[in-house]
Amino acid sequence: MTGFAQPGAPGASPPRPTRVGLIVPSSNTTMETELPELFARQAAATGHRYTFHSARAALKNVTREELLAMVGKAAECAVAVSDADVDVIAYACLVAVMAQGPGAHAESERLIAEAAAGNGHPAEVVSSAGALVRTLTGMGVGRVAMITPYMRPLTRMVSDYVEGSGIEVLDATSLEVDDNLAVGCLDPGALPGIARRLRLEGAEAVVLSACVQMPSLPAVQAVEDELGLPVVTAATATTHEVLRALGHTPAISGAGRLLAG
């Protein structure tokens, strides 16, 4: 007769990895690549393993109407992803939350936490919107310049949200892409050149990608090294908050000083 080995016995399975739940737009292709890459670097440095488990909410075009419709699916997605008994849930659509007005991340995080707990699987919850403003505040940053892929009205909305958290946006570049799949195909190699054109006088940090879908990870360290300013993205801020929620110390190389530990 065969069976599973008991913990601590010869041949016993190692402790299960930490499970990270993601709620992402249905057209997202970036958070499910950049976050696992960041956590793979964390695992290489610490030996701790992480797995990712996603729920998707419909979003094709980054318009206010579609963003608000996606927000309405957050609790349903939280229930679905909590079925995997995840340890933390990251609500990974920054602009969908920001479209609801300054401070909306707190309510979104509360609703997701309640939905997961009501499903019998309570989990820590962070949102990319909350992670970005809390991370900047925690770094003592009061003035930023940023890059977004959005049309200008949405970029203005994101700027207003950040400023509603007490952080002045000195400059914001809009790349004017509204198709979310197209955003995921933008070349991160272009970001250093775009960042050089930002008005940086007085800036204390650069938000290289104020969007979970715009790829930026390959450029973060290069831009930070060139400009001499901390560089944060929606993905790195979310990663930082997920690690904090888990009580894990960041030890990630090549992604800026925020995650270097």
21 near 86, Cβ under 8 Å? yes
Cα R_g (the chain), whole angstroms = 18
Say which residues have a Cβ less than 8 Å from residue 46's Cβ, sequence separation at least 6: 248, 251
Choosing from 38, 77, 93, 112, the catalytic residue is 93
Residues 229, 252, 50, CA angle at the centre, nearest 5°? 140
Place of tokens 């929606």: 234
Give the residue from 194, 202, 252 showing the smallest Cα distance to 219: 194
Residue 208 to residues 31, 54, 169, 172, 232, Cα–Cα distance (Å): 15, 25, 13, 10, 6
| Phi, psi torsion values for 213, nearest 5 degrees | -95, -20
- Choosing from 97, 169, 211, 245, which is the catalytic residue? 211
Which residues belong to the annotated binding site for substrate? 28, 93-95, 150, 180, 212-213
Please give the single-letter amino acid code of residue 69. A
Answer yes or no: 185 catalytic.
no
Tokens at residue 44, please? 């290489």
Binding-site residues sit at 28, 93-95, 150, 180, 212-213
* 93 belongs to the catalytic site: yes
Active site residues: 93, 211
